[in-house]
Structure 1
Amino acid sequence: MYPRDRTRILEVGQARTHGLGADVYLMRQFARRPGAAVHQGHAHLGPRRVGQYRSQCADVVARVPYIHGSHPNAGTVPRPWKARRAYYGNTVVLLSTLNPDGTTNIAPMSSTWALGHTIVLGMGVGSRTATNLRERGEAVLNLPGVELWKQVERLGDTTGNTRGQVQHGHGSVPCADKFAAVGLDRQPSQTVSCDRVAQCRLQIEVRVVGAAPDADGHFLIAQTHVQMVHADPAIVVPGTSHVDPRLWKPLIYNFRHYHTLGSQVGESAITETPSA
């Protein structure tokens, strides 16, 4: 189990624009970058008028080459295809929620996305996780690295409910202590009652601000608000509140296969931690 000083609390704050309007700030960020796509002479301008930079954008698009991959069918035109489900893969999360008896349930999931300080979660309506979120309204998103994929997979065979059920296309068995069952350690949280997973190098404590079934009634969609973020200092850019993407390799659930990220191929012009 990690000692308490192993994790660092990251500040949750708004992106800094140094007092400039967003347009001006972003234009100057572009202008500072070598080979910036936006013309250097526009860096001094104020907020753009409609169509002001259209010619530059069109020129950039025209110069982007079509890249052929190594797959034998790379470059072919996509055709209509009847997929069994629309899920397309995402980062794996071990979600901690609070059981009625005060213990912590953990469940693997990957249907999450973030917008600002809001994180949206999706899970089956009949799961113990969904019930806990509706009734107690708090959770921790524990983001595992690649080394935990076997524990993640084993958790998928368990349920926090008292009776077995069919989930993820197969059966699951009741499990009162999932931490012990798969060899994970508990770590107390600071703003919520459910425990964190000590082996996860990123942990996000949240509270539910809204939850409702999806249009078909099969899934619960919960909106949560971030309360606190914890990170292993080893993956944080020194002297900042930014995770170093070169050091953090999240576990990715890609069409029911476990993957992680490869080497960097580029970076956004608005990154606050440029490589060069």
Structure 2
Amino acid sequence: MQSFSLMNPVLQALLATLFTWGVTALGAAPVFFAKSINQKLMDGLLGMAAGVMIAASYWSLLAPAIEMSHGSWIPATTGFIGGGAFLYVLDKILPHLHPGMAMKDAEGIHTGWQRSVLLVLAITLHNIPEGLAVGVAFGAVAANINGASLGGAIALAVGIGIQNFPEGTAVAMPLRREGLSRFKSFWYGQLSGAVEPMAGVLGAWAVITMRPILPYALAFAAGAMIFVCVEELIPEAQRKGNTDFATLGAIFGFAIMMTLDVALG
């Protein structure tokens, strides 16, 4: 822990997001042993992922952004709306397909890309704000911002890692059921997390070199994550009718992230 704290914050962000990518790969690994996962369990895990992201959006991102704005609502509000707007535009442009949906329901610009590529891109949409959030959190620590701590940044990375597990499964399992090999299903499942290290490094570098944007960047990541939760994770968790189980999963996920942030931050 001490050696980690002495590292360059960009390197810290890289290592943290490599961890979150690794958990995505771990979530894809069950395809080596099975072709499907219990739907009720999957919906509960997706609900948990949403709960973790909602809690992280406030405890690890919005609360520090508000604190460092010294009573001004402008940075947090502007950044939050900007993050949601960015994901909205990306959602409309980037071709992607949510697990369990037919090819005709693919979103974004119409392409002839394979189903496997579109499934990976759907989860990649989730991972861009997650990687950015982790990077910005480590950048805030390096900038000596009040309310930002190394423990809090690590807690955020752990929380993001936890909720990445079902995302890896959500990509890999449908591909395995459709006849892809175990290795290809795993490869595509873990590939969806590859964007996180890139986004994490970019986020850490940006806030270190341009400190005045930090509260905007924190709130931006929060807005993007909330968009993902409301637009994709929560509807997906409830789509099969396991609403109570998915809701309890969200409550549990929120409690996990809140506990991590308070205990480590």
- TM tier, smaller: under 0.3
Q: Which has the higher contact order (CA 8 A, sep 6+)?
A: 2
**Greater strand share, structure number:** 1
Q: Which has the larger radius of gyration?
A: 1
Q: TM-score, normalised by structure 1?
A: 0.23
